[in-house]
Amino acid sequence: MRERIWVPPLLLLLPLLLPPPLGDYEQAVRDLEAALRSHRRLREIRARCARHCAVRRPLAPPCSGPGAELPFFRSLLQRARCYRSCETQRLGGPASRHRVSEDVRSDFQRRVPYNYLQRAYIKLNQLEKAVEAAHTFFMANPEHMEMQQNIENYRTMAGVAAFQLVDREARPHLESYSVGVKHYEADNFEVAIKYFEQALREYFNEDMECRILCEGPQRFEEYEYLGYKGGLHEAIADHYMQVLVCQHECVRELATRPGRLSPIENFLPLHYDYLQFAYYRVGEYVKALECAKAYLLCHPDDEDVLDNVHYYESLLDDDIDPASIEAREDMMMFVKRHQLESELIQSAAEGLGFSYTEPLTGKLPDVLWLPPWEDRGSREDSVLVPSGGPLLYENITFVYNSEQLNGTQRVLLDNVLSEDQCRELHSVASFGYEGRVPLKSARLFYDISEKARKIVESYFMLNSTLYFSYTHMVCRTALSGQQDRRNDLSHPIHADNCLLDPEANECWKEPPAYTFRDYSALLYMNDDFEGGEFIFTEMDAKTVTASIKPKCGRMISFSSGGENPHGVKAVTKGQRCAVALWFTLDPLYRELVLVCAGGHQLHPTSSSAASAVYPQLYGFRVRSPGLCPVDDADSFSGEGGKRQEEADFPLAKCHSKDST
């Protein structure tokens, strides 16, 4: 008996419509899982029917003479009939019964059902399945902070550490490619070849499915308000151009990981670049040559690969003519089709009066090559940025530079604060929890923030003014009885101005990252605690390149991009306090409260000065950066709070844009 393919929109809302006391979560799970299966099955059937009918009902070319177009349209009608019959047979009814709204289609694309599913599984105490659902949703929604916290909470529960995080909607070609890269980097070339070849087969299969799904109903949004009814040729042209543009963009779609806006740089050609060297290393020179020539279809001027081609040709047996070895057929066909599509779209854009911009302008090879970091808005390479300028203040001790910290744009300094300053700021933590901050401490906080800014600006030899972007003071306290055998991080590995993607070895400079941040600094106040080390890692978020133990007056500063992934180990005993500072070179994102505060003369004993200079300037908050009520003339009040693992007592400038 065939499975009935139907995805009722209300299934997505069912777990929320039924409150916990009355909710039938078992039924909710059954319905949601059935909806997900149906959605996958529907895509498979449509792709299978399209392939089947393309073979059985090929389109006939137009002939000459009267009725020249009739053979083409006859074959088109036959294919449409074949397609409808196939779908009806496999779906158990007319295809129109299985159409859903644009909102529901968008929900499935954004993996919204998995958000509801993880809630239902938690209610049923099925933790492993809840983790899978949560992780699957989070992979496509990396900005969803609530889901990130849910995953962290699940992993602290008994037994979850042993669970492997599974993405139930993982795209096979991306997974195989990632595995291939790992084996390639480990010099396991035979295994790497297996996975790269598998990734290419999966890529071309998914490309076919992507192109087939583009053939579905189209919307003419620019004409909707007119009740658009075009003539025969205009309607055909409008519909086909939308389909063609959609199909042409599949190359970008397949190179983009779920939840990301930017595609993986140079994705498809890279398969052949890896393969040409891997085949060479295992002694298969003909295949190495084929893959090198396939790569050159996209990058004909790549000098390294051109040299490889000449070298591979010299290794061939005497009875093999190098000229007879052509590029891989799969890539040749792909490139030829892509070029024809590009030419047709550009021609139609000129003739029919619509605008279309290629992913990149220029000749075909550039279309398949995605732009480098600085061109596509991802992380900037700061290797060539100078550093080592004067430290400006006496008593500051230089400890390590970038090279000694195994990275770029890094510096470690000591004695930025005196012991008395550390004690004063450390004491603010207890004041903050009680909701009171002396004006003297607020003044000190401002002064040491400005001191840190000047040091960073001078040491990294910046040619333009460095502005504050966001500053706060935070203390983390280990909770008693919950610290046995902890080896987790209190701050997961991340970069400060881009979204770190360890699997792709990329850092995407796009929202919700704070892309305007350029430099970061942490200024520590104490060392009477255990754990809490600051660490740098490689972009894999696993390989630690430097570990720094906090102490009074120590400051670590670094550029905020993907070149400096970092995190903080959990505090297991005592309390660690630090001032965290983020800076920007863009005045549009500077911290405006500092402009106000810096332009006044402060008088610690003057209540009028406090109200005039620091209205809503400093305060304590955990979740509400804008909530800083004034308690009285000489103190400031706000909120305090705790996390599950540690307690936070942050002192923040309330006009800032975030609460990192």
| Positive or negative torsion for Cα 609, 614, 618, 619 | positive
- Judge contact between 93 and 85, C-beta under 8 A: no
Tell me the C-alpha distance between 108 and 588, whole Å: 37
Query: Can you give 452-508 as a three-state secondary structure string?
Result: HHHHHHHHCCCCCCCEEEEEEEEEEEECCCCCCCCCCEEEEEECCCCEEECCCCEEE
Q: Name the CATH code of domain 397-653 (choices 2.60.120.620, 1.20.140.10, 2.60.420.10, 3.30.43.10).
A: 2.60.120.620
Tell me the C-alpha distance between 254 and 268, whole Å: 9
Main-chain dihedrals φ then ψ at residue 19, nearest 5 degrees = -65, 155
Supply the DSSP symbol for 225: G
Domain residue ranges in the chain: 9-160, 173-371, 397-653
For residue 595, what pLDDT is reported? 44
Could you tell me the two tokens for 99? 């159409």
Tell me the C-alpha distance between 322 and 308, whole Å: 13
Look-up: residue for tokens 């996958």? 40
* Residues with catalytic function: 576
pLDDT mean for each 10 residues of the chain (660 residues)? 44 45 76 87 86 86 78 86 87 69 78 90 88 88 75 67 75 93 92 96 93 74 50 78 87 84 83 94 94 93 92 90 92 92 83 59 35 31 58 89 89 94 80 63 87 93 87 81 64 89 84 88 92 90 88 95 91 89 87 48 31 30 25 30 35 33
For residue 563, what pLDDT is reported? 92
Tell me the C-alpha distance between 499 and 154, whole Å: 23
Supply the DSSP symbol for 168: T
For residue 2, what pLDDT is reported? 44
- Judge contact between 503 and 579, C-beta under 8 A: no
